[in-house]
Protein backbone atom coordinates (compact mmCIF):
# COMPACT_ATOMS: atom_id res chain seq x y z
CA UNK A 1 0.00 0.00 0.00
CA UNK A 2 1.28 3.46 -0.88
CA UNK A 3 1.96 5.95 1.88
CA UNK A 4 -0.29 9.03 1.78
CA UNK A 5 0.96 11.95 -0.27
CA UNK A 6 2.42 14.79 1.79
CA UNK A 7 0.07 17.81 1.47
CA UNK A 8 2.92 20.15 0.50
CA UNK A 9 3.53 18.06 -2.64
CA UNK A 10 0.01 18.88 -3.84
CA UNK A 11 0.37 22.62 -3.34
CA UNK A 12 1.75 25.01 -5.95
CA UNK A 13 5.34 25.86 -4.92
CA UNK A 14 6.12 29.52 -4.19
CA UNK A 15 6.98 31.67 -7.19
CA UNK A 16 8.23 35.03 -5.98
CA UNK A 17 8.36 38.17 -8.14
CA UNK A 18 11.45 38.22 -10.33
CA UNK A 19 12.16 34.50 -10.05
CA UNK A 20 12.91 32.47 -13.18
CA UNK A 21 11.45 28.99 -12.86
CA UNK A 22 11.95 26.07 -15.21
CA UNK A 23 9.08 23.62 -15.60
CA UNK A 24 10.00 20.00 -16.35
CA UNK A 25 6.85 17.95 -16.73
CA UNK A 26 6.43 14.23 -17.08
CA UNK A 27 5.23 10.99 -15.60
CA UNK A 28 8.64 10.32 -14.00
CA UNK A 29 7.91 6.61 -14.18
CA UNK A 30 10.45 6.06 -12.88
CA UNK A 31 12.58 9.14 -12.23
CA UNK A 32 16.23 8.43 -12.99
CA UNK A 33 19.70 9.93 -13.24
CA UNK A 34 18.94 11.25 -16.73
CA UNK A 35 16.28 13.55 -15.28
CA UNK A 36 18.79 14.81 -12.76
CA UNK A 37 21.48 15.34 -15.41
CA UNK A 38 19.07 17.27 -17.63
CA UNK A 39 18.01 19.37 -14.63
CA UNK A 40 21.55 20.28 -13.69
CA UNK A 41 22.20 21.29 -17.31
CA UNK A 42 19.30 23.74 -17.51
CA UNK A 43 19.85 25.16 -14.03
CA UNK A 44 23.39 26.10 -15.02
CA UNK A 45 22.94 27.03 -18.68
CA UNK A 46 19.75 29.07 -18.24
CA UNK A 47 20.51 30.63 -14.86
CA UNK A 48 17.29 29.39 -13.28
CA UNK A 49 16.31 30.21 -9.71
CA UNK A 50 14.32 26.98 -9.45
CA UNK A 51 13.37 23.99 -11.54
CA UNK A 52 10.03 22.38 -10.77
CA UNK A 53 9.53 18.72 -11.55
CA UNK A 54 5.84 18.56 -12.46
CA UNK A 55 4.95 14.95 -11.77
CA UNK A 56 1.73 14.46 -13.70
CA UNK A 57 -1.05 12.27 -12.33
CA UNK A 58 -1.56 10.97 -15.87
CA UNK A 59 -0.20 11.59 -19.35
CA UNK A 60 -2.98 11.81 -21.99
CA UNK A 61 -0.60 10.44 -24.64
CA UNK A 62 0.45 7.36 -22.67
CA UNK A 63 -1.31 4.22 -21.58
CA UNK A 64 -1.54 3.91 -17.81
CA UNK A 65 -1.77 0.15 -17.72
CA UNK A 66 1.80 -0.41 -16.55
CA UNK A 67 2.29 2.89 -14.72
CA UNK A 68 3.36 3.13 -11.12
CA UNK A 69 0.94 4.96 -8.86
CA UNK A 70 1.02 8.73 -8.65
CA UNK A 71 2.02 8.55 -4.97
CA UNK A 72 4.89 6.17 -5.74
CA UNK A 73 6.21 8.35 -8.57
CA UNK A 74 6.10 11.46 -6.38
CA UNK A 75 7.95 9.67 -3.59
CA UNK A 76 10.61 8.35 -5.97
CA UNK A 77 11.11 11.80 -7.50
CA UNK A 78 11.48 13.34 -4.05
CA UNK A 79 14.07 10.74 -3.13
CA UNK A 80 16.11 11.35 -6.29
CA UNK A 81 15.92 15.15 -6.51
CA UNK A 82 18.27 16.00 -3.67
CA UNK A 83 19.13 19.44 -4.99
CA UNK A 84 18.42 22.79 -3.32
CA UNK A 85 17.01 24.30 -6.54
CA UNK A 86 14.89 21.36 -7.71
CA UNK A 87 11.32 21.29 -6.39
CA UNK A 88 9.13 18.21 -6.83
CA UNK A 89 5.40 18.91 -7.07
CA UNK A 90 2.22 17.08 -7.97
CA UNK A 91 -0.11 20.06 -7.85
CA UNK A 92 -1.57 19.20 -11.27
CA UNK A 93 -3.52 16.43 -9.53
CA UNK A 94 -5.72 19.16 -8.05
CA UNK A 95 -6.16 21.00 -11.34
CA UNK A 96 -9.11 20.43 -13.69
CA UNK A 97 -6.74 19.73 -16.60
CA UNK A 98 -3.31 18.10 -16.77
CA UNK A 99 -2.58 19.55 -20.21
CA UNK A 100 0.62 21.57 -20.21
CA UNK A 101 -0.94 24.61 -21.91
CA UNK A 102 -3.55 24.83 -19.15
CA UNK A 103 -0.93 24.44 -16.41
CA UNK A 104 1.25 27.20 -17.86
CA UNK A 105 -1.72 29.52 -18.25
CA UNK A 106 -2.69 28.92 -14.63
CA UNK A 107 0.83 29.60 -13.35
CA UNK A 108 1.20 32.79 -15.36
CA UNK A 109 -2.09 34.12 -14.03
CA UNK A 110 -1.22 33.10 -10.48
CA UNK A 111 2.33 34.53 -10.51
CA UNK A 112 2.47 37.23 -13.22
CA UNK A 113 5.74 38.68 -11.87
CA UNK A 114 7.63 35.38 -12.11
CA UNK A 115 9.16 34.09 -15.35
CA UNK A 116 8.54 30.51 -16.46
CA UNK A 117 10.46 28.43 -19.00
CA UNK A 118 9.17 25.11 -20.33
CA UNK A 119 11.91 22.44 -20.29
CA UNK A 120 11.86 19.15 -22.17
CA UNK A 121 14.06 16.56 -23.82
CA UNK A 122 14.66 16.56 -27.56
CA UNK A 123 12.71 13.31 -27.89
CA UNK A 124 9.60 15.17 -26.70
CA UNK A 125 10.12 18.00 -29.20
CA UNK A 126 9.98 15.52 -32.06
CA UNK A 127 6.40 14.59 -31.11
CA UNK A 128 5.40 17.93 -29.59
CA UNK A 129 2.82 18.61 -32.30
CA UNK A 130 0.70 15.84 -30.76
CA UNK A 131 0.33 17.79 -27.50
CA UNK A 132 -2.88 19.72 -26.83
CA UNK A 133 -2.53 23.40 -27.82
CA UNK A 134 1.19 22.99 -28.47
CA UNK A 135 1.43 26.26 -30.36
CA UNK A 136 -0.01 28.07 -27.34
CA UNK A 137 2.82 26.67 -25.19
CA UNK A 138 5.46 28.14 -27.52
CA UNK A 139 3.65 31.46 -27.53
CA UNK A 140 3.21 31.58 -23.76
CA UNK A 141 6.73 30.89 -22.44
CA UNK A 142 10.30 30.40 -23.67
CA UNK A 143 11.10 26.75 -24.35
CA UNK A 144 14.39 25.00 -23.57
CA UNK A 145 15.01 21.65 -25.27
CA UNK A 146 17.84 19.44 -24.03
CA UNK A 147 19.55 16.97 -26.33
CA UNK A 148 18.79 13.27 -25.88
CA UNK A 149 20.51 10.25 -27.45
CA UNK A 150 19.59 9.87 -31.14
CA UNK A 151 16.93 12.58 -30.86
CA UNK A 152 18.53 15.82 -32.12
CA UNK A 153 17.91 15.26 -35.84
CA UNK A 154 14.29 14.14 -35.36
CA UNK A 155 13.66 17.07 -33.03
CA UNK A 156 15.04 19.66 -35.45
CA UNK A 157 13.12 18.07 -38.34
CA UNK A 158 9.85 17.81 -36.45
CA UNK A 159 6.65 19.77 -37.00
CA UNK A 160 7.05 22.01 -33.94
CA UNK A 161 10.66 22.96 -34.67
CA UNK A 162 9.81 23.70 -38.29
CA UNK A 163 6.79 25.80 -37.34
CA UNK A 164 8.80 27.90 -34.89
CA UNK A 165 12.10 27.90 -36.79
CA UNK A 166 12.22 31.72 -36.91
CA UNK A 167 12.05 31.79 -33.10
CA UNK A 168 15.12 29.57 -32.63
CA UNK A 169 17.88 30.95 -30.37
CA UNK A 170 21.40 29.59 -30.69
CA UNK A 171 22.48 27.82 -27.53
CA UNK A 172 25.46 30.15 -27.18
CA UNK A 173 22.91 32.79 -26.19
CA UNK A 174 20.82 30.44 -24.02
CA UNK A 175 21.47 32.35 -20.78
CA UNK A 176 19.43 35.20 -22.23
CA UNK A 177 16.42 32.98 -22.92
CA UNK A 178 14.77 33.90 -19.62
CA UNK A 179 14.63 37.58 -20.56
CA UNK A 180 13.22 37.10 -24.04
CA UNK A 181 9.63 37.38 -25.13
CA UNK A 182 8.07 34.20 -26.55
CA UNK A 183 7.97 32.56 -28.93
CA UNK A 184 11.63 31.74 -28.46
CA UNK A 185 13.32 28.39 -27.98
CA UNK A 186 16.74 26.81 -27.89
CA UNK A 187 18.27 23.35 -28.12
CA UNK A 188 20.97 22.71 -25.55
CA UNK A 189 23.81 20.24 -25.98
CA UNK A 190 24.41 18.17 -22.88
CA UNK A 191 26.12 14.98 -21.69
CA UNK A 192 23.88 12.26 -23.11
CA UNK A 193 22.43 9.80 -20.64
CA UNK A 194 21.32 6.47 -22.16
CA UNK A 195 18.68 6.04 -19.44
CA UNK A 196 15.00 6.28 -20.32
CA UNK A 197 11.93 5.77 -18.18
CA UNK A 198 10.39 3.51 -20.85
CA UNK A 199 13.31 1.05 -20.76
CA UNK A 200 13.46 1.14 -16.96
CA UNK A 201 9.75 0.26 -16.82
CA UNK A 202 10.45 -2.79 -18.96
CA UNK A 203 13.07 -4.02 -16.51
CA UNK A 204 10.69 -3.32 -13.62
CA UNK A 205 7.96 -5.39 -15.21
Mean pLDDT by 10 residues, the chain (205 residues): 82 98 96 93 97 89 69 95 95 94 98 98 95 98 93 94 98 97 95 54 43
Report the alpha-carbon distance of residue 52 to residue 107 in Å, rounded: 12
Q: Where are the domains of the chain?
A: 17-204
The Cα angle at residue 84 between residues 123 and 110, in degrees rounded to 5: 70
Question: What homologous superfamily is domain 17-204 in, according to CATH?
Answer: HUPs (3.40.50.620)
The pLDDT assigned to 60 comes to: 63
Strands 143-146 and 20-26: unpaired
The pLDDT assigned to 66 comes to: 64
Contacts of 5 (CB under 8 A, 6+ apart): 70, 71, 74, 90
Please give the backbone phi and psi of residue 125, each rounded to the nearest 5 degrees, phi first. Answer: -65, -35
The pLDDT assigned to 4 comes to: 85
pTM of full prediction above 0.85: yes
Helix (H) or strand (E) holding 44: helix 33-46
Amino acid sequence: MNAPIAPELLRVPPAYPGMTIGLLGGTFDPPHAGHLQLSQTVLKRLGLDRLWWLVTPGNPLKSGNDAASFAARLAQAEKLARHPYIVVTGFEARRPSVHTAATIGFLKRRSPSARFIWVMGADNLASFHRWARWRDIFRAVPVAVVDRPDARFAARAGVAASCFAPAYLDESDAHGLKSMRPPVWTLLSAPLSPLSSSELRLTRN
